[in-house]
Amino acid sequence: MNILLKSAKIVNEATKEIHLKKRDILIKNGVIEKIGVQIDAPPKTKIVEHKNLHVSLGWMDTGVSFGEPGYEERETIDNGLQTAARSGFTDVLLNPNSFPLPDSSSDIVFLKNASKGHVTNLHPLGNLTVSGEGESLAELYDMKNAGAVGFYDFKHAVTNPNLLKIALQYAQNFDGIVLSFPLDNHIAGKGIVNEGIVSTRLGLKGIPAMAEELQVSRDLFILEYTGGKLHIPTISTANSVKLIAAAKKKGLKVTCSVAVHNLIKTDDDLEDFETHYKVLPPLRTTKDCKELIKGLTNGTIDFVTSDHTPLNIELKKVEFDNADYGTIGLESSFGALNQLFDIEETIEILTRGRKTFGIEVPELREGTKANLTIFDPNTEYTFSEDHISSSSKNSLFLNTVLKGTVLGTISNNQVHLNH
Protein backbone atom coordinates (compact mmCIF):
# COMPACT_ATOMS: atom_id res chain seq x y z
CA MET A 1 0.00 0.00 0.00
CA ASN A 2 1.24 3.50 -0.82
CA ILE A 3 0.61 6.30 1.66
CA LEU A 4 1.60 9.98 1.82
CA LEU A 5 1.72 11.84 5.14
CA LYS A 6 1.25 15.54 4.40
CA SER A 7 3.02 18.21 6.44
CA ALA A 8 3.74 15.92 9.41
CA LYS A 9 5.85 17.28 12.24
CA ILE A 10 8.59 14.69 12.84
CA VAL A 11 9.46 13.88 16.46
CA ASN A 12 12.65 11.83 16.23
CA GLU A 13 15.86 13.02 17.89
CA ALA A 14 17.95 10.41 16.06
CA THR A 15 17.47 12.30 12.78
CA LYS A 16 18.54 15.76 13.93
CA GLU A 17 18.19 17.35 10.48
CA ILE A 18 14.41 16.75 10.37
CA HIS A 19 13.59 16.57 14.11
CA LEU A 20 10.63 18.89 14.88
CA LYS A 21 10.42 19.90 11.21
CA LYS A 22 7.27 19.57 9.07
CA ARG A 23 7.77 17.22 6.14
CA ASP A 24 5.83 15.12 3.65
CA ILE A 25 6.62 11.41 3.98
CA LEU A 26 5.95 9.02 1.09
CA ILE A 27 5.71 5.33 1.95
CA LYS A 28 5.69 2.76 -0.87
CA ASN A 29 5.21 -0.96 -0.25
CA GLY A 30 6.03 -0.53 3.43
CA VAL A 31 9.26 1.41 2.86
CA ILE A 32 9.89 5.13 3.46
CA GLU A 33 10.68 6.18 -0.11
CA LYS A 34 10.97 9.94 0.31
CA ILE A 35 10.95 12.61 3.01
CA GLY A 36 10.60 16.15 1.62
CA VAL A 37 9.10 19.60 2.06
CA GLN A 38 6.58 19.06 -0.76
CA ILE A 39 5.88 15.67 -2.34
CA ASP A 40 3.23 15.13 -4.99
CA ALA A 41 1.16 12.02 -4.48
CA PRO A 42 1.76 9.28 -7.08
CA PRO A 43 -1.34 7.50 -8.47
CA LYS A 44 -3.19 5.12 -6.10
CA THR A 45 -1.69 6.72 -3.00
CA LYS A 46 -3.64 7.23 0.23
CA ILE A 47 -3.12 10.79 1.45
CA VAL A 48 -3.19 11.42 5.22
CA GLU A 49 -3.77 15.03 6.26
CA HIS A 50 -4.58 16.43 9.69
CA LYS A 51 -4.44 19.92 11.17
CA ASN A 52 -1.78 19.02 13.75
CA LEU A 53 -0.25 15.86 12.28
CA HIS A 54 2.81 14.53 14.13
CA VAL A 55 4.84 11.40 13.36
CA SER A 56 7.41 9.39 15.29
CA LEU A 57 8.92 5.93 15.26
CA GLY A 58 6.38 3.29 16.25
CA TRP A 59 5.81 2.98 19.99
CA MET A 60 6.59 -0.06 22.12
CA ASP A 61 4.89 -1.39 25.27
CA THR A 62 7.01 -3.74 27.39
CA GLY A 63 4.13 -5.38 29.24
CA VAL A 64 0.63 -6.23 28.02
CA SER A 65 -1.70 -9.14 28.75
CA PHE A 66 -4.34 -10.58 26.47
CA GLY A 67 -6.55 -13.54 27.37
CA GLU A 68 -5.91 -16.03 24.59
CA PRO A 69 -5.51 -18.95 25.00
CA GLY A 70 -7.95 -19.78 27.78
CA TYR A 71 -9.50 -16.39 28.59
CA GLU A 72 -10.66 -15.23 25.17
CA GLU A 73 -13.64 -13.41 26.71
CA ARG A 74 -11.16 -10.96 28.30
CA GLU A 75 -9.20 -10.29 25.11
CA THR A 76 -8.27 -12.29 22.03
CA ILE A 77 -4.84 -11.85 20.44
CA ASP A 78 -6.58 -10.46 17.35
CA ASN A 79 -8.56 -7.78 19.21
CA GLY A 80 -5.65 -7.09 21.55
CA LEU A 81 -3.31 -6.32 18.65
CA GLN A 82 -5.95 -4.18 16.94
CA THR A 83 -6.35 -2.25 20.22
CA ALA A 84 -2.57 -1.83 20.42
CA ALA A 85 -2.49 -0.50 16.83
CA ARG A 86 -5.32 1.98 17.59
CA SER A 87 -3.38 3.06 20.67
CA GLY A 88 -0.18 3.83 18.73
CA PHE A 89 1.87 0.72 19.50
CA THR A 90 3.67 -1.09 16.69
CA ASP A 91 5.40 -3.50 19.11
CA VAL A 92 4.16 -5.11 22.34
CA LEU A 93 5.69 -7.59 24.74
CA LEU A 94 3.04 -10.14 25.70
CA ASN A 95 3.02 -11.22 29.35
CA PRO A 96 2.56 -14.93 30.08
CA ASN A 97 -0.94 -14.52 31.50
CA SER A 98 -3.12 -17.13 29.80
CA PHE A 99 -4.30 -20.70 30.32
CA PRO A 100 -2.30 -22.77 29.75
CA LEU A 101 0.73 -20.62 30.44
CA PRO A 102 3.41 -20.47 27.71
CA ASP A 103 6.27 -22.55 29.13
CA SER A 104 7.41 -24.47 26.02
CA SER A 105 8.59 -23.67 22.51
CA SER A 106 5.29 -24.90 20.98
CA ASP A 107 3.37 -22.37 23.15
CA ILE A 108 5.59 -19.55 21.84
CA VAL A 109 5.11 -20.74 18.24
CA PHE A 110 1.32 -20.69 18.78
CA LEU A 111 1.44 -17.07 20.00
CA LYS A 112 3.70 -15.96 17.14
CA ASN A 113 1.46 -17.64 14.54
CA ALA A 114 -1.72 -16.19 16.08
CA SER A 115 -0.27 -12.69 15.78
CA LYS A 116 0.68 -12.85 12.09
CA GLY A 117 -0.83 -10.38 9.63
CA HIS A 118 -1.18 -7.51 12.10
CA VAL A 119 0.14 -3.96 12.04
CA THR A 120 1.41 -4.48 15.59
CA ASN A 121 4.20 -6.99 16.23
CA LEU A 122 3.73 -9.34 19.18
CA HIS A 123 6.84 -10.41 21.12
CA PRO A 124 5.99 -13.15 23.63
CA LEU A 125 7.56 -13.55 27.05
CA GLY A 126 7.81 -17.19 28.08
CA ASN A 127 7.27 -18.44 31.61
CA LEU A 128 10.42 -18.59 33.70
CA THR A 129 9.26 -21.74 35.50
CA VAL A 130 7.17 -24.75 34.49
CA SER A 131 3.47 -23.80 34.73
CA GLY A 132 4.57 -20.62 36.51
CA GLU A 133 4.75 -22.60 39.76
CA GLY A 134 8.22 -21.38 40.77
CA GLU A 135 9.58 -24.91 41.21
CA SER A 136 11.77 -25.67 38.20
CA LEU A 137 12.96 -23.71 35.15
CA ALA A 138 10.92 -23.97 31.95
CA GLU A 139 12.46 -24.66 28.50
CA LEU A 140 14.19 -21.29 28.32
CA TYR A 141 16.61 -22.02 25.48
CA ASP A 142 13.99 -23.68 23.28
CA MET A 143 11.53 -20.84 23.90
CA LYS A 144 14.18 -18.27 23.01
CA ASN A 145 14.78 -20.07 19.69
CA ALA A 146 11.03 -20.10 19.05
CA GLY A 147 10.81 -16.31 19.51
CA ALA A 148 10.47 -15.59 23.25
CA VAL A 149 12.19 -12.30 24.14
CA GLY A 150 12.45 -12.91 27.89
CA PHE A 151 11.29 -15.12 30.77
CA TYR A 152 8.81 -14.11 33.44
CA ASP A 153 6.33 -15.61 35.87
CA PHE A 154 3.78 -12.82 35.47
CA LYS A 155 3.09 -10.93 38.73
CA HIS A 156 4.66 -13.77 40.71
CA ALA A 157 7.88 -13.24 42.60
CA VAL A 158 10.70 -15.76 42.23
CA THR A 159 10.51 -16.86 45.86
CA ASN A 160 13.41 -19.34 45.64
CA PRO A 161 16.64 -17.28 45.45
CA ASN A 162 18.62 -20.26 44.15
CA LEU A 163 16.22 -20.63 41.22
CA LEU A 164 16.82 -16.99 40.24
CA LYS A 165 20.57 -17.53 40.57
CA ILE A 166 20.49 -20.57 38.26
CA ALA A 167 18.18 -18.80 35.77
CA LEU A 168 20.50 -15.78 35.50
CA GLN A 169 23.55 -18.03 35.07
CA TYR A 170 21.87 -20.30 32.50
CA ALA A 171 20.33 -17.50 30.43
CA GLN A 172 23.76 -15.96 29.86
CA ASN A 173 24.60 -18.85 27.52
CA PHE A 174 22.15 -17.49 24.93
CA ASP A 175 21.95 -13.82 25.94
CA GLY A 176 18.54 -14.30 27.56
CA ILE A 177 16.89 -11.79 29.88
CA VAL A 178 15.23 -12.85 33.14
CA LEU A 179 12.31 -10.90 34.65
CA SER A 180 11.60 -10.96 38.37
CA PHE A 181 8.44 -9.40 39.84
CA PRO A 182 9.34 -7.20 42.82
CA LEU A 183 7.25 -8.49 45.72
CA ASP A 184 8.20 -10.42 48.85
CA ASN A 185 5.02 -12.37 49.52
CA HIS A 186 5.97 -13.07 53.14
CA ILE A 187 6.05 -9.34 53.88
CA ALA A 188 3.04 -8.51 51.65
CA GLY A 189 0.96 -11.21 53.33
CA LYS A 190 -2.73 -10.64 52.68
CA GLY A 191 -2.25 -6.95 51.90
CA ILE A 192 -4.15 -5.55 48.90
CA VAL A 193 -3.30 -1.81 48.83
CA ASN A 194 -0.36 0.38 49.84
CA GLU A 195 0.25 0.25 53.59
CA GLY A 196 -0.10 3.74 55.02
CA ILE A 197 -2.51 6.36 56.32
CA VAL A 198 -5.12 5.66 53.63
CA SER A 199 -5.17 1.86 54.12
CA THR A 200 -5.53 2.36 57.88
CA ARG A 201 -8.38 4.85 57.45
CA LEU A 202 -10.22 2.64 54.98
CA GLY A 203 -9.63 -0.53 56.96
CA LEU A 204 -7.89 -2.29 54.08
CA LYS A 205 -4.91 -4.60 54.62
CA GLY A 206 -1.69 -2.98 53.46
CA ILE A 207 1.31 -4.03 51.37
CA PRO A 208 4.34 -2.20 52.80
CA ALA A 209 6.78 -0.53 50.41
CA MET A 210 9.37 -2.77 52.06
CA ALA A 211 7.74 -5.85 50.47
CA GLU A 212 8.89 -4.53 47.09
CA GLU A 213 12.22 -3.12 48.19
CA LEU A 214 13.40 -6.29 49.96
CA GLN A 215 12.78 -8.29 46.80
CA VAL A 216 14.52 -5.71 44.59
CA SER A 217 17.46 -5.66 46.97
CA ARG A 218 17.71 -9.46 47.02
CA ASP A 219 17.45 -9.77 43.25
CA LEU A 220 20.14 -7.14 42.67
CA PHE A 221 22.41 -8.92 45.16
CA ILE A 222 21.97 -12.18 43.23
CA LEU A 223 22.56 -10.39 39.91
CA GLU A 224 25.82 -8.95 41.23
CA TYR A 225 26.95 -12.49 42.03
CA THR A 226 25.81 -14.19 38.82
CA GLY A 227 26.10 -11.55 36.12
CA GLY A 228 23.58 -11.76 33.30
CA LYS A 229 20.61 -9.57 32.43
CA LEU A 230 17.77 -8.85 34.84
CA HIS A 231 14.61 -6.84 34.18
CA ILE A 232 12.44 -5.76 37.12
CA PRO A 233 8.93 -5.00 35.82
CA THR A 234 6.60 -2.38 37.35
CA ILE A 235 8.43 -0.92 40.33
CA SER A 236 6.34 1.43 42.46
CA THR A 237 8.34 2.92 45.36
CA ALA A 238 10.85 5.73 45.83
CA ASN A 239 13.36 3.38 47.46
CA SER A 240 13.22 0.91 44.57
CA VAL A 241 14.38 3.74 42.31
CA LYS A 242 17.35 4.40 44.61
CA LEU A 243 18.31 0.72 44.80
CA ILE A 244 18.26 0.33 41.01
CA ALA A 245 20.17 3.58 40.48
CA ALA A 246 22.92 2.30 42.81
CA ALA A 247 23.04 -1.05 40.97
CA LYS A 248 23.37 0.68 37.61
CA LYS A 249 26.23 2.78 38.99
CA LYS A 250 28.01 -0.48 39.82
CA GLY A 251 27.64 -1.51 36.19
CA LEU A 252 25.05 -4.27 36.71
CA LYS A 253 22.94 -5.14 33.67
CA VAL A 254 19.60 -4.30 35.22
CA THR A 255 16.61 -2.60 33.63
CA CYS A 256 13.21 -1.78 35.10
CA SER A 257 9.81 -0.44 34.15
CA VAL A 258 7.00 1.45 35.82
CA ALA A 259 3.29 1.14 35.08
CA VAL A 260 1.90 4.41 33.74
CA HIS A 261 -0.82 4.52 36.41
CA ASN A 262 1.81 4.38 39.19
CA LEU A 263 3.15 7.70 37.89
CA ILE A 264 -0.19 9.48 38.12
CA LYS A 265 -2.65 7.84 40.51
CA THR A 266 -2.06 7.46 44.27
CA ASP A 267 -3.65 5.59 47.17
CA ASP A 268 -5.75 8.73 47.82
CA ASP A 269 -7.82 7.57 44.83
CA LEU A 270 -9.02 4.55 46.83
CA GLU A 271 -11.52 6.56 48.91
CA ASP A 272 -14.55 5.28 46.96
CA PHE A 273 -13.41 1.62 47.04
CA GLU A 274 -13.48 1.63 43.21
CA THR A 275 -12.11 -1.78 42.20
CA HIS A 276 -10.56 -0.44 38.97
CA TYR A 277 -7.95 1.09 41.28
CA LYS A 278 -6.99 -2.32 42.68
CA VAL A 279 -3.70 -3.01 40.91
CA LEU A 280 -0.46 -4.83 41.66
CA PRO A 281 1.90 -3.28 42.60
CA PRO A 282 -0.59 -1.08 44.46
CA LEU A 283 -1.00 2.66 43.96
CA ARG A 284 1.48 4.31 46.32
CA THR A 285 1.93 7.86 47.66
CA THR A 286 2.47 11.24 46.01
CA LYS A 287 6.12 11.09 47.15
CA ASP A 288 6.56 7.75 45.35
CA CYS A 289 5.00 9.19 42.16
CA LYS A 290 7.44 12.12 42.23
CA GLU A 291 10.48 9.87 42.66
CA LEU A 292 9.28 7.50 39.91
CA ILE A 293 8.87 10.43 37.51
CA LYS A 294 12.34 11.68 38.47
CA GLY A 295 13.77 8.18 37.94
CA LEU A 296 12.18 8.03 34.51
CA THR A 297 13.59 11.42 33.55
CA ASN A 298 17.15 10.64 34.67
CA GLY A 299 17.24 7.18 33.06
CA THR A 300 17.12 5.02 36.21
CA ILE A 301 13.73 3.69 35.08
CA ASP A 302 14.08 2.39 31.55
CA PHE A 303 10.50 1.93 30.33
CA VAL A 304 6.91 2.87 31.02
CA THR A 305 4.39 0.10 30.46
CA SER A 306 0.61 0.25 30.22
CA ASP A 307 0.49 -2.98 32.29
CA HIS A 308 -2.62 -3.68 30.20
CA THR A 309 -4.57 -6.41 32.05
CA PRO A 310 -8.08 -7.05 30.69
CA LEU A 311 -10.50 -8.65 33.17
CA ASN A 312 -14.12 -9.65 32.69
CA ILE A 313 -16.65 -7.60 34.61
CA GLU A 314 -17.48 -10.22 37.26
CA LEU A 315 -13.87 -10.12 38.49
CA LYS A 316 -14.16 -6.38 39.20
CA LYS A 317 -17.85 -5.88 40.09
CA VAL A 318 -17.42 -7.34 43.57
CA GLU A 319 -16.30 -6.09 47.00
CA PHE A 320 -12.86 -4.47 46.92
CA ASP A 321 -11.27 -7.30 48.94
CA ASN A 322 -12.47 -9.93 46.46
CA ALA A 323 -11.74 -8.08 43.20
CA ASP A 324 -8.88 -9.20 40.94
CA TYR A 325 -5.85 -6.98 40.43
CA GLY A 326 -5.46 -5.18 37.13
CA THR A 327 -6.41 -2.36 34.79
CA ILE A 328 -6.37 -2.02 31.02
CA GLY A 329 -4.02 0.68 29.80
CA LEU A 330 -3.18 0.56 26.10
CA GLU A 331 -5.78 3.14 25.05
CA SER A 332 -4.90 5.63 27.82
CA SER A 333 -1.12 5.23 27.92
CA PHE A 334 -0.16 8.01 25.51
CA GLY A 335 -2.74 10.49 26.81
CA ALA A 336 -1.62 9.93 30.41
CA LEU A 337 2.12 10.21 29.70
CA ASN A 338 1.59 13.26 27.54
CA GLN A 339 -0.01 15.00 30.55
CA LEU A 340 3.21 14.51 32.52
CA PHE A 341 5.93 15.27 29.97
CA ASP A 342 6.45 17.46 26.93
CA ILE A 343 5.95 15.74 23.60
CA GLU A 344 9.65 15.11 22.91
CA GLU A 345 10.14 13.33 26.23
CA THR A 346 6.85 11.45 25.89
CA ILE A 347 7.88 10.07 22.49
CA GLU A 348 11.40 9.27 23.70
CA ILE A 349 9.86 7.20 26.53
CA LEU A 350 7.34 5.46 24.22
CA THR A 351 10.02 4.42 21.71
CA ARG A 352 12.45 2.91 24.26
CA GLY A 353 12.81 -0.78 24.92
CA ARG A 354 13.50 -2.69 21.73
CA LYS A 355 17.25 -3.02 22.14
CA THR A 356 16.96 -4.47 25.66
CA PHE A 357 14.76 -7.30 24.40
CA GLY A 358 16.72 -7.96 21.19
CA ILE A 359 14.07 -6.46 18.91
CA GLU A 360 15.10 -4.67 15.72
CA VAL A 361 15.17 -0.90 16.24
CA PRO A 362 13.43 0.95 13.36
CA GLU A 363 14.70 4.16 11.80
CA LEU A 364 12.92 7.18 10.41
CA ARG A 365 14.97 7.65 7.22
CA GLU A 366 14.55 7.19 3.49
CA GLY A 367 15.04 3.58 2.42
CA THR A 368 14.04 2.01 5.77
CA LYS A 369 10.92 -0.03 6.60
CA ALA A 370 8.13 2.21 7.87
CA ASN A 371 7.43 1.57 11.54
CA LEU A 372 5.60 4.75 12.52
CA THR A 373 2.97 6.21 14.82
CA ILE A 374 0.96 9.27 13.79
CA PHE A 375 -0.74 11.44 16.40
CA ASP A 376 -1.97 14.85 17.50
CA PRO A 377 -0.38 15.74 20.86
CA ASN A 378 -2.60 18.72 21.71
CA THR A 379 -6.18 17.43 21.94
CA GLU A 380 -7.63 17.22 25.46
CA TYR A 381 -10.53 14.95 26.37
CA THR A 382 -12.06 13.06 29.28
CA PHE A 383 -11.34 9.35 28.92
CA SER A 384 -14.55 7.29 28.74
CA GLU A 385 -15.74 3.85 27.65
CA ASP A 386 -16.16 5.29 24.13
CA HIS A 387 -12.35 5.46 23.91
CA ILE A 388 -11.93 1.77 24.85
CA SER A 389 -11.62 -0.83 22.12
CA SER A 390 -10.52 -3.66 24.44
CA SER A 391 -13.08 -6.38 25.10
CA SER A 392 -12.75 -5.61 28.82
CA LYS A 393 -13.50 -2.13 30.17
CA ASN A 394 -11.65 -2.23 33.52
CA SER A 395 -9.75 1.06 33.24
CA LEU A 396 -8.68 3.16 36.20
CA PHE A 397 -8.31 6.14 33.83
CA LEU A 398 -12.07 6.39 33.24
CA ASN A 399 -13.22 10.00 33.82
CA THR A 400 -9.60 11.25 33.80
CA VAL A 401 -8.60 14.15 31.54
CA LEU A 402 -5.97 12.97 29.04
CA LYS A 403 -4.00 14.84 26.40
CA GLY A 404 -3.18 13.71 22.88
CA THR A 405 -4.88 11.52 20.29
CA VAL A 406 -3.44 8.64 18.27
CA LEU A 407 -4.33 8.98 14.58
CA GLY A 408 -2.85 5.71 13.35
CA THR A 409 0.03 3.28 12.99
CA ILE A 410 2.08 2.10 10.02
CA SER A 411 4.10 -1.12 10.17
CA ASN A 412 4.58 -4.44 8.37
CA ASN A 413 3.47 -2.82 5.07
CA GLN A 414 0.08 -2.14 6.66
CA VAL A 415 -1.71 0.97 7.79
CA HIS A 416 -4.19 1.38 10.61
CA LEU A 417 -5.95 4.75 10.67
CA ASN A 418 -8.30 5.78 13.47
CA HIS A 419 -10.10 8.57 11.60
* pLDDT tens string 34-62: 999 999 999 999 999 999 999 999 999 99
Q: What is the mean pLDDT of residues 159-169?
A: 98
3 state SS for 164-229: HHHHHHHHHHHCCEEECCCCCHHHHCCCCEECCHHHHHHCCCEECHHHHHHHHHHHHHHHHHHCCE
* pLDDT tens string 305-317: 999 999 999 999 9
Tell me the C-alpha distance between 240 and 237, whole Å: 5
3 state SS for the chain: CEEEEEEEEECCCCCCCCCCCEEEEEEECCEEEEEECCCCCCCCEEEECCCCCEEEECEEEEEECCCCCCCCCCCCHHHHHHHHHHCCEEEEEECCCCCCCCCCHHHHHHHHHHCCCCCCEEEECECCEHHHCCCCECCHHHHHHHCCCCECCCCCCCCCHHHHHHHHHHHHHHCCEEECCCCCHHHHCCCCEECCHHHHHHCCCEECHHHHHHHHHHHHHHHHHHCCEEEECCCCCHHHHHHHHHHHHCCCCEEEEEECHHHHCCHHHHHHCCHHHCCCCCCCCHHHHHHHHHHHHCCCCCEEECCECCCCHHHCCCCHHHCCCCECCHHHHHHHHHHHCCHHHHHHHHCCCCHHHCCCCCCCCCCCECCEEEEEEEEEEECCHHHCCCCCCCCCCCCCEEEEEEEEEEECCEEEECC
- With contact defined as beta carbons under 8 Å apart, do 272 and 225 qualify? no
Residue 290 has pLDDT above 80, yes or no: yes
Residue 126 has pLDDT above 90, yes or no: yes
Is the domain 2-55+364-381+401-417 a CATH 3.40.50.720 member? no
Tell me the C-alpha distance between 19 and 35, whole Å: 12
Tell me the residue type at 392: S
Instruction: Give percent of the chain with pLDDT exceeding 90.
Output: 100
Q: What is the mean pLDDT of residues 370-380?
A: 97
- With contact defined as beta carbons under 8 Å apart, do 167 and 154 qualify? no
Residue 66 has pLDDT above 90, yes or no: yes
Q: What is the mean pLDDT of residues 398-417?
A: 96
Catalytic residue positions, numbered: 307
Q: What is the mean pLDDT of residues 81-96?
A: 98
Looking at residue 65, what is its pLDDT? 97
Is the domain 59-357 a CATH 3.20.20.140 member? yes
Q: What is the mean pLDDT of residues 177-191?
A: 97
Mean pLDDT of the chain: 96
Instruction: Flag whether the pTM goes above 0.85.
Output: yes
**Distance from chain centroid for Cα 12:** 20
Residue 205 has pLDDT above 90, yes or no: yes
Instruction: Give percent of the chain with pLDDT exceeding 70.
Output: 100
Q: What is the mean pLDDT of residues 96-101?
A: 95
Output phi, psi for 78, to 5 deg: -60, -55
Q: What is the mean pLDDT of residues 188-204?
A: 96
Looking at residue 419, what is its pLDDT? 72
Sequence spans of domains, the chain: 2-55+364-381+401-417, 59-357
Judge whether 2-55+364-381+401-417 and 59-357 match in fold: no
Q: What is the mean pLDDT of residues 108-121?
A: 97
- Helix (H) or strand (E) segment spanning residue 147: none
Residue 362 has pLDDT above 90, yes or no: yes
Looking at residue 190, what is its pLDDT? 95
* pLDDT tens string 239-275: 999 999 999 999 999 999 999 999 999 999 999 999 9
Tell me the C-alpha distance between 381 and 392, whole Å: 21
Assign 1 to helix, strand or coil: coil
Q: How confident is residue 341, by pLDDT bands cut at 50, 70 and 90?
A: very high
Q: What is the mean pLDDT of residues 141-166?
A: 97
Angle between helices 209-226 and 238-249 (to 10 degrees): 10
Q: How confident is residue 388, by pLDDT bands cut at 50, 70 and 90?
A: very high
Residue 1 has pLDDT above 80, yes or no: no
